[in-house]
Amino acid sequence: MASLHLPCATTGTTNTSATSRPLFPKQSHFIASPKRTRRLQVSCTNNGHSKKHSSENTETSQGKVDRRNMLLGLSGLYGAANLASAPEAPANPIQAPVLDKCGAATNLNTGKQLDINCCPPVVQNVIDYKLPPVRRLKLRPSAHRVSAEYIFKYNLAIDRMKRLPKEDPRSFMQQANIHCAYCNGAYDQPGQGTLDLQVHNSWLFFPFHRWYLYFYERILGKLINDPTFALPFWNWDNPKGMTIPPMFNDPTAAIFDEKRNQANLPPAVVDLGMTGNKDPLQVVSNNLTIMYAEMIRGNSSVTDFMGKPYREGTPVNPGPGASERGSHTAVHVWVGDPRQPSGEDLGNFYSAGRDPLFYCHHGNCDRMWTLWQYHLPSAKVPDRTITDPDYLNTQFLFYDENAQLVRVTVKDCVSNRAMGYDYERIDLPWLDYRPPPQTATAKVTRAATEAAKAETVFPLNLDKIVRVLVPKTKKGKADEVLVIENITVDTSKFLKFDVFINDEDDNVLELDKAAYAGTYAQVPHRTTTQTATTSIQLKLTELYDDMDVTDDEDVLITLVPRHQGDGITIGGIKIIENPTPTPAPAPAAAPSS
């Protein structure tokens, strides 16, 4: 079914400016794990950070009391049972981690503690970061289109980062370890016992990585005396960008990393579906369909795209958004090196930041957020902004380009332009890549004889293809959402499954068809408990439009695992009415970024 209309026109420019001389004397490259032998002892009650922190806690607990009073008032009217089960009751935002409580990260793939401590240096002085005024927007270029001059500057900057003293929080490994600390269980949520702080698989995914790249970019710019320096983005959503960008493949370059899957070096086409299909044209078509599904067709609400709420006290992995679990996860795992014990570097969160390609990959993930916010009326989601104060007031800590520890909030990163950057404009060939309608009638009748009813098969261990019948809320075409609940995952493994509805041909290597509904996938990482329970939602409305479901009371769901062995249990599947009804069709979007 791979019929492609490959886009040709691309527009925009890359920014170029004069290069400069090295700022730092040559030193040996920093390679070793930054295991610190001694941790600075800082009293929690004596530093500015903690004082600020506790005063904020007072304010927020006051807020919590107010909200509880309000809810208690309501409970008089509606009863305590409603209060207890209110799913989205405000709690408190996730607080910035306490750096001197950072602990060792663990790599559970190899069953032992990692020989690394990815905790940052602890200092007493933390300041609240203020976005500097924007004089001129930096333009992040497509990594496949950059000039030789840009490549030189980028390598120079990374090389200088690698030569910084290893204790310098701006050094290459310290920067890589930011990801390890926030993603592999090194931090606990402040005030929540040993509950892990984890920035993936929730609504914090986009904001955390945006801030991370923001400071990384400023540090690189400072190291080459070029405040206009902008990170590149890996344009893996466009057929012209579906290989590892050429500049990353020069073994003599500072941005090279040998820990990558050797089978996936160019000219291999990135497989966003991880189906293992060997036909490059089919893979490209699968990729564009995945982009269409995760950006346009599959989301019923803003959190379906961004990820589920994650507040103080929420266990890790409440639910990844469509883009995070789909294209984002695939690129990590596709690049990670199977010769390494845990898919290092990109294939595991603790090591991902050690490959400069990580930041280029995340440039495109961040670009997807900007597209979602400003350029996708065809996504038919009424509101594409999260206004929940627990989201907006979430805090993170980073070191800025001057090695100053700063506290940032989510609300200051919701506009990329206010942060001073934008993306080179590139065509979006997936924007209208709606699969052709399915002509054969749905197989529900035939399947009814061979597929079990959903209520009889769950919970189940998803280690092979499973087909189940799930009842619709009403017959025929309806505005409905598929909910896959209580997905329990072994967080140390790569796990992925695709979801098809009423699939007419059962060819699981092809995703470019009306029956493909979406994906769950995760990058291996660590949590204290090693398992997490999560859920996802997939909007079905447009899929029904493209198939004959007129007389159907059930939908045949096919779950296709793309990993080997166990690791994932599915608690249940149901179909509900779309809680945020699909608005009337919007005018077509301008193909821009």
Query: Residue 328 annotated as binding?
Result: yes
Q: Residue 332 catalytic?
A: yes
Instruction: Single out the catalytic residue among 49, 144, 200, 525.
Output: 200
5, burial (CB in 10 Å: exposed 0-12, middle 13-18, buried 19+): exposed
Query: Residue 200 annotated as binding?
Result: yes
The answer to whether residues 247 and 151 touch, using CB atoms and an 8 Å cutoff, is yes
Closest distance to ligand C2O from the beta carbon of 117 (Å): 19
- Residue 325 is a binding residue for ligand C2O (CB under 6 A): no
Instruction: Single out the catalytic residue among 248, 305, 349, 458.
Output: 349
Query: Residue 332 annotated as binding?
Result: yes
Q: Residue 328 catalytic?
A: yes
Best CA proximity match to 545, nearest among 432, 428, 442: 442
Query: Which neighbouring-strand residues pair with 557?
Result: 468, 501
Closest distance to ligand C2O from the beta carbon of 221 (Å): 22
DSSP 412: G
- Residue 183 is a binding residue for ligand C2O (CB under 6 A): yes
Q: Residue 200 catalytic?
A: yes
The answer to whether residues 325 and 408 touch, using CB atoms and an 8 Å cutoff, is no
Query: Residue from 145, 162, 170, 200 that binds ligand C2O (CB under 6 A)?
Result: 200
> How many chain residues interact with ligand C2O (CB under 6 A)?
9
C-alpha distance from residue 226 to each of 150, 230, 241, 563 (Å): 12, 9, 26, 44
- Residue 332 is a binding residue for ligand C2O (CB under 6 A): yes
d(CA 23, CA 140): 24
- Residue 357 is a binding residue for ligand C2O (CB under 6 A): no
The answer to whether residues 410 and 394 touch, using CB atoms and an 8 Å cutoff, is yes
Identity of the residue, 330 or 419, whose beta carbon is nearer to ligand C2O in the bound complex: 330
Q: Residue 525 catalytic?
A: no
- Residue 153 is a binding residue for ligand C2O (CB under 6 A): no
Instruction: Single out the catalytic residue among 49, 328, 361, 563.
Output: 328
Query: Residue 144 annotated as binding?
Result: no
- Residue 328 is a binding residue for ligand C2O (CB under 6 A): yes
* The two structure tokens encoding residue 86: 């209110």
Residues 6+ apart with CB under 8 A from 583: 380, 382
Identity of the residue, 297 or 362, whose beta carbon is nearer to ligand C2O in the bound complex: 362
- Residue 352 is a binding residue for ligand C2O (CB under 6 A): yes
Query: Residue from 145, 170, 179, 434 that binds ligand C2O (CB under 6 A)?
Result: 179
Task: Give 159-211 as a DSSP string.
Answer: HHHHHS-TTSTTSHHHHHHHHHHHHTT-SBPTTSTTPBP--SSSTTHHHHHHH
Residues 6+ apart with CB under 8 A from 242: 236, 269, 270, 283, 284, 287
- Residue 218 is a binding residue for ligand C2O (CB under 6 A): no
Q: Residue 209 catalytic?
A: yes
Identity of the residue, 161 or 521, whose beta carbon is nearer to ligand C2O in the bound complex: 521
Residues 6+ apart with CB under 8 A from 24: 160, 163, 164, 223
Binding region for Cu cation: 179, 200, 209, 328, 332, 362
What is the binding site for ligand C2O (CB under 6 A)?
179, 183, 200, 209, 328, 332, 349, 352, 362
Binding region: 179, 200, 209, 328, 332, 362
Give the residue numbers annotated as catalytic, written as ranges: 179, 200, 209, 328, 332, 349, 362
